[in-house]
């Protein structure tokens, strides 16, 4: 099915199942511990051994030798794989990192060996017996030191332009009556998902099966095939459940590569799980940025010039962090300029992490907007509303498909009690606590991609959906089930959803905020085809057949749905593809975040007291699941604002706090009452579902709203994240 014109009325609009706050259909499996994650398929893989990955002990240089004698002689050892005996490998297409290094070392903890033994303990013990000699070379680990020599890359992330220019930014900024020119920094951050990267690999001749934790199975099979030099058709990946990913499990990483190589060497299935301390420097992370934002405005708050430059670092071949993405679209302004620069650093690869680019860019842009509002003596909400635009600012002939940023800001301000905010910092008190409120806009792209599904109908009227879409804790099983139930006129308990197997029809997987809208559209296409097959089987005209209450009706003829499959199961497959609507319209999601904090005036301790997110993301397929996505994103935003930072040892060249003891993330005590308002809306330019994603929108802008609230409470403006108490102590006026 090809979607080429805006959607009209269709079966989804019945809203009998879609749009309801439905419990997760896989919830009982997860709450009883019976949902199978990558490392837990013991009954499916017999006689497995264990692999323990060894990471490089230097950040840059070369392996001189690896003495394996003691390790090979250790109890239970079956094989040791290094670059010397693994055969040729190369990077995949998505990640630039070499997932088995040697003899050259590109970054600390880069995988250089895997030891295979009968038990995990034996593999770990034997790995410690490897004697590895290195020759160190000088590396680059400091973004600030590399900033001035960082070039503009040939292309931006995913083929986007690294530089954009509209009008005369330099001239307009120089002549603007009110200007802001500030530099902000964001640190390296870790995905820190609950489930570690893990794989069980098994070879059957030339065919490889991996039970793994990969968000995009189509990318995973493609990249694993490229890395190992085997056809992707020989690879089967199974990821029925993923315990969090946030972009950090997009495709093949060292766990799946090393497990596959280990299983080949040992002649047996092998289980590999990366220990937590290895994950932080071995796998990918969100890269640090240095960002300069310049805004020129008239005294009434009209933006006349807006410029955003960002510097980030990566290994050779790695992508830039697209921190300027939101600035291109969020606010009006006739004269515009954005630029990305990329330094070569010898740290672990920087790559996609929830709302890549937009999260880091909005951490700074939305502070800048608050600073501009203060210079103008203008309310921050009013300034944002004044500079709204209904067309793409860089391409004024291109309208937004739907855009309710103003409504998000107005609704949030009213619900949050923004009128109680005091413009002068340090005005509101609660004993020793200084109280402040902050706001930030939110924008996140709404991409949609080709997605396929297979749908089956049996004689009992049970509908089974098969697609390789994954569920990373987002509710994919449930919204896909709801889509099939709505389309086929059955209750949700009559739908079976099977996901996360690369032998199923191909979806784009989980990532980029495209998963929900894309995967459900693929199911819509397949169910449309199944409806036609049902009508044909029952000799009914497909154009007026009604599917409702488990029955098919046409005129005065009524049949149970299962009657159509009485003789044989009906099986159909289809994919949703797209025309040019995404080029004709700017398709984005919008929101507003409001935060209230308390800051202890003596200690600088920050406590978030209230949070509100207002989100505009097309049709909400399941309000309960959508809210869960947003409050999880809001929690991640608090972490980014107040505590998350991978600390770089700039001499040794690695992230020091490479475990969950040292890398701080929010816990329950850090998170107060969270409220979410989902502005119901339809976007007919997206797909027949008229829906967009929301899981990354909930993060974008949160950290800036927290930062702005801290400033409103204390009068201390921190422009370097995270905002820790040491950046406030000694600067707060305790006598005010």
430-456: average pLDDT:
98
In terms of CATH architecture, what is 379-387+398-446+587-727? Answer: 2-Layer Sandwich (3.30)
**CATH 3.90.1170.50 domain position(s) in the chain:** 38-138+212-275
| pLDDT at position 621 | 98
> Left (φ > 0), alpha (ψ -120 to 50) or beta: where does 652 sit?
alpha
Which CATH number is associated with domain 14-35+453-576? 3.30.365.10
What number is the average pLDDT over the span 306-330? 97
Structure confidence by residue, pLDDT tens digits, 246-263: 999 999 999 999 999 999
User: Where in the chain are all domains bearing CATH 3.30.365.10?
Assistant: 14-35+453-576, 379-387+398-446+587-727
Question: What CA–CA distance (Å, rounded) separates 273 from 251?
Answer: 16
> Tokens for 478?
């449930």
- Determine whether 696 is an active site residue: yes
Average pLDDT of span 325-336: 98
User: What does the pLDDT look like over 162-205, one tens digit per residue?
Assistant: 999 999 999 999 999 999 999 999 999 999 999 999 999 999 99
Closest CA to 45 of 218, 233, 214, 201: 201
Distance CA 536, CA 526 (A): 15
CA distance 232 to 252: 12
Q: Could you confirm whether domain 38-138+212-275 is CATH 3.90.1170.50?
A: yes
Environment class of residue 556 by beta-carbon count within 10 Å: exposed (0-12), middle (13-18) or buried (19+)?
Answer: exposed
Calculate the average pLDDT of the chain.
Answer: 97
Q: Which pTM value belongs to this model?
A: 0.98
First to last CA, the chain: 66
pLDDT digits (tens, 9 = 90+) for 661-681: 999 999 999 999 999 999 989
Active-site hit among 596, 644, 645, 696: 696
For residues 615 and 405, what is the distance between their CA atoms, to the nearest angstrom? Answer: 9
């Amino acid at each position: 099915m090809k979607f080429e014109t805006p959607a009209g009325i269709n079966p989804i609009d019945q809203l009998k199942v879609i749009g309801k706050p439905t419990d997760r259909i896989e919830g009982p499996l997860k709450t009883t511990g019976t949902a199978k994650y990558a490392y837990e398929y013991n009954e499916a893989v017999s006689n497995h051994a264990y692999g323990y990955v060894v990471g490089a002990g230097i950040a840059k240089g070369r392996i001189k030798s690896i003495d394996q004698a003691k390790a090979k002689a250790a109890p239970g050892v079956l094989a040791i794989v290094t670059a010397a005996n693994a055969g040729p490998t190369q990077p995949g297409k998505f990640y630039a990192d070499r997932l088995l290094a040697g003899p050259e070392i590109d970054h600390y903890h880069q995988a250089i060996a895997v030891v295979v033994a009968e038990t995990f303990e034996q593999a770990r013990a034997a790995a410690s017996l490897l004697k590895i000699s290195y020759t160190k070379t000088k590396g680059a680990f400091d973004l600030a030191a590399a900033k001035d020599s960082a070039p503009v890359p040939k292309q931006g992330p995913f083929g986007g332009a690294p530089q954009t220019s509209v009008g005369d930014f330099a001239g307009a900024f120089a002549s603007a009556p009110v200007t802001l020119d500030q530099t902000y920094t964001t640190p390296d951050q870790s995905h820190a998902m609950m489930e570690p990267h893990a794989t069980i690999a098994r070879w059957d001749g030339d065919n490889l099966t991996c039970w793994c934790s990969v968000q995009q199975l189509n990318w995973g099979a493609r990249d694993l095939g490229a890395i190992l030099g085997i056809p992707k058709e020989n690879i089967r990946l199974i990821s029925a459940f993923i315990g969090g990913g946030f972009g950090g499990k997009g495709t093949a990483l060292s766990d799946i590569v090393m497990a596959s190589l280990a299983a080949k060497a040992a002649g047996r299935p092998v289980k590999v799980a990366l220990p937590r301390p290895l994950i932080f420097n071995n796998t990918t992370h969100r890269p640090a940025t240095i960002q300069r934002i310049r805004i020129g405005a008239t005294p009434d708050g009209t933006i006349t010039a807006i410029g955003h430059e960002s510097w980030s670092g990566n290994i050779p071949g790695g992508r830039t962090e697209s921190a300027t993405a939101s600035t291109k679209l969020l606010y009006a302004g006739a004269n515009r300029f954005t630029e990305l620069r990329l330094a070569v650093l010898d740290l672990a690869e920087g790559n996609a992490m929830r709302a890549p680019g937009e999260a880091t860019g909005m951490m700074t842009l939305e502070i800048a907007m608050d600073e501009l509002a203060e210079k103008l003596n203008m309310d921050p909400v009013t300034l944002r509303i004044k500079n709204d635009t209904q067309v793409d600012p860089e391409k004024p002939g291109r309208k937004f498909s739907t855009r309710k940023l103003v409504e998000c800001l107005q609704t949030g301000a009213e619900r949050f009690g923004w009128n109680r905010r005091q413009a002068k910092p340090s005005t509101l008190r609660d004993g020793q606590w200084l109280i402040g409120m902050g706001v930030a806009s939110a924008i996140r792209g709404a991409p949609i991609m080709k997605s396929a599904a297979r749908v089956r109908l049996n004689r009992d009227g049970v509908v089974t959906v098969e697609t390789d879409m994954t569920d990373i804790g987002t509710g994919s099983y449930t919204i896909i089930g709801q889509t099939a139930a709505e389309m086929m006129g059955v209750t949700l308990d009559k739908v079976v959803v099977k996901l996360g197997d690369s032998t199923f029809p191909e979806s784009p997987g989980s990532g980029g905020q495209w998963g929900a809208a894309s995967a459900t559209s693929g199911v819509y296409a397949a169910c449309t085809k199944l409806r036609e097959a049902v009508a044909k089987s029952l000799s009914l005209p497909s154009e007026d057949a009604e599917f409702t209450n488990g029955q098919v009706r046409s005129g005065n003829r009524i049949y149970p749905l299962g009657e159509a499959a009485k003789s044989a199961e009906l099986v159909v497959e289809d994919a949703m593809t797209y025309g040019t609507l995404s080029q004709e319209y700017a398709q984005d999601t919008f929101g507003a975040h409001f935060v209230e904090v308390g800051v202890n005036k003596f200690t600088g301790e920050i406590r978030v007291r209230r949070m509100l997110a207002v989100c505009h993301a097309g049709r909400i397929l399941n309000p309960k699941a959508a809210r869960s996505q947003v409050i999880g994103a809001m929690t991640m935003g608090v972490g980014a604002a107040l505590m998350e930072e991978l600390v770089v040892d700039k001499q040794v060249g690695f992230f020091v706090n490479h475990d969950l003891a040292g890398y701080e993330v929010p816990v329950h005590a850090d998170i107060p009452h969270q409220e979410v308002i989902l502005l119901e809306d339809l976007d007919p330019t997206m797909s027949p579902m008229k829906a967009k994603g929301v899981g990354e929108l909930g993060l974008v802008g949160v950290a800036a709203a927290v930062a702005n609230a801290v400033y409103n409470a204390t009068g201390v403006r921190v422009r370097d994240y995270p905002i820790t108490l040491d950046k406030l102590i000694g600067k707060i006026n305790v006598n005010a």
